Homo-oligomer: A and B are copies of this chain.
């Protein structure tokens, strides 16, 4: 996610970018999303505030990038059954939501995205896009195996999976349950299977 592209003049220092991202992630973990101010990020990164605003429109976009840099380019799971594929996929979501920075940032971050009309449209794109691609492949294979119908609503299933994990982990703050992914995957898989 990049936000500008100048050409002449002094080029932007990439070390600033990195320092800002790191400072943001640290502060979010230490103090939470709401208590993380741009000014504090600038101070910790040893950077001027403008250097931040020059690169990101605001806190939501900055924190999003700082927290989700570990964009997983993991290949879609292919275990042979829908339930196990979903388990792997869900475990990825769980891991993502349970990462310290993400866990600390997600509720406030999603709230800020939802509150801004321009950002709201990007929740599905920015937050869920990687998972959706993998889910699509998983579904394709499941359709070919005859496990689910071709018209199974991907978005709704994805919202359900993400919503369940977000609510269970991010909001309610349930302790880590190693069987969560398998349990949820089993329910959903069985729920959408044709027979």
Residues on A facing B (Cβ under 8 Å): 32-34, 107-108, 110-115, 120, 123-124, 153, 155-157, 159-160, 162-168, 170-174, 180, 183-184, 186-193
Query: Which B residues lie within 8 Å of A168 (CB)?
Result: 156, 159-160, 163
Is B172 touching A160 in the complex (CB atoms < 8 A)?
no
Is B107 touching A114 in the complex (CB atoms < 8 A)?
yes
Is B110 touching A115 in the complex (CB atoms < 8 A)?
no
Is A173 touching B120 in the complex (CB atoms < 8 A)?
yes
CA distance A157 to B184 in the complex (A): 9
CA distance A111 to B191 in the complex (A): 30
24 residue pairs from A and B, CB less than 8 Å apart: A33-B111, A33-B115, A34-B112, A34-B115, A107-B114, A107-B115, A110-B111, A111-B111, A114-B170, A120-B171, A160-B163, A160-B164, A160-B168, A160-B184, A163-B163, A163-B166, A163-B167, A163-B168, A166-B167, A186-B191, A190-B191, A190-B193, A191-B191, A191-B192
Given A163-B163, A191-B186 in contact, is the A173-B114 Cβ separation under 8 Å?
A: yes
Query: Which B residues lie within 8 Å of A124 (CB)?
Result: 172
- Min CB distance A31 to B, Å, is 10
Closest to A109 in B: B111
